[in-house]
Amino acid sequence: MIVAMQADATEEQINHICDRIREFGYAPHVIRGTERTVIAAVGPGDKKEHIEQLKSADGVENAFPILQPFKLVSKEVKKQKSAIRVDEITIGDGGFVVMAGPCSVEGYEQLMTTAKAVAASGAQILRGGAYKPRTSPYDFQGLAEEGLKLLAEARRQTGLKVITEVLDTEGVELVAEYADILQVGARNMQNFALLKKLGEVQKPIMLKRGLSATIKEFLLSAEYIVTHGNPNVMLCERGIRTFETATRNTLDLAAVPLLNELTHLPVIIDPSHATGKRSLVRPLAKAAVAVGADGLMTEVHPFPELAWSDGPQSLRPEEFARMMHELQPYINLRQNEMN
């Protein structure tokens, strides 16, 4: 259920409502807005008698059930978009954040060349896989901690923040030691043990949509992270598996405005994994701005034909620079409309 407090509600009244919510068997989550405080009571059922009792308490403006199966990530609980801070970068404040870099960290020269190129073209966050979950056990699996160290060095040299994937609960603390944002890949979207563990980490999480996941399943996975203590979650639409074979996956552009209707979490688009074709990345990057995404993740490699993974979908540095130049009018137009 949701308990909306009056604008002038005191801390004592807020704490009293939290205590009553616990007595009823729910977990209270206090969400402080610019005008008023809302308390989400999460637990099995929304009993009518509990709602009625809370309505009559001092400092309460209203109480009502949450209709969506996902609670804390729902716009019913928080109308305003969540803005996730990564030091001086904010994701979800109406701007457009670009994450770019190689699919896999292959070595010092490859990573530093790519990092410096994407930074020069305007990217704010460096992506790169130190651990690579691959369909075939014979494919390159990543450099592991050595890859994490190279990402940290690239951050030192360029000022870019780092996002990289974590594969399992055992690796969470190590990846969090090096990365600014932890990524959950599509194959792990419903790895609930991992999601719970990430709820204990106070670093932003980017959750990628599973290959065949519905929007409801996607948001319930995000709910696992938030209910376990970490509200800093962003969602990534990276294409879903359909009957179509002309592209690697099918980018669900409709998911972006739909997610913006249903949730307050920021939404990122990954056109590289969605299409598997570098020729389609630039037009879909423009579409990401148009449909209301908060950011973009793309793969960039200095020599895609030599890439150890995902070469066909990786932009060359000059192609990435061109894309960033072409995106700017779309970003400016959206910001003008918001103002």
Query: pLDDT means per 10 residues in the chain (339 residues)?
Result: 93 96 92 86 81 94 91 92 96 96 96 98 97 77 92 98 97 97 97 98 97 98 96 97 96 98 98 97 97 98 95 97 96 84
| CA gap 47, 41 in Å, rounded | 11
| CA gap 143, 16 in Å, rounded | 51
| CA gap 8, 11 in Å, rounded | 10
Q: What is the pLDDT of residue 194?
A: 98
Q: What is the pLDDT of residue 135?
A: 74
Q: What is the pLDDT of residue 45?
A: 65
**In terms of Cα–Cα distance, which of 154, 149, 140, 155 is closest to 111?**
154
Structure tokens at 115: 């990092």
Structure tokens at 328: 């700017």
Residue 235, number of CB atoms within 10 A of its CB: 26
Q: What is the pLDDT of residue 141?
A: 77
| CA gap 167, 169 in Å, rounded | 7
Q: What is the pLDDT of residue 88?
A: 95
Burial 19-56 (b: 16+ CB within 10 A, else e): ebbeebebebbebeeeeebbbbbbbeebeeebbeebee
Angle value at C-alpha 318, between 313 and 322, nearest 5 degrees: 90
Return the CATH class of domain 2-64: alpha beta
Residue 166, number of CB atoms within 10 A of its CB: 25
Which residues of the chain form CATH 3.30.70.1140? 2-64
The DSSP code for 105 is -
For domain 84-338, give its CATH number from 2.40.440.10, 3.20.20.70, 3.30.420.480, 3.10.580.10: 3.20.20.70
Residues in the chain: 339
Which residues of the chain form CATH 3.20.20.70? 84-338
**Phi-psi domain of 144 (left: phi exceeds 0; alpha: psi -120 through 50; beta: other):** left
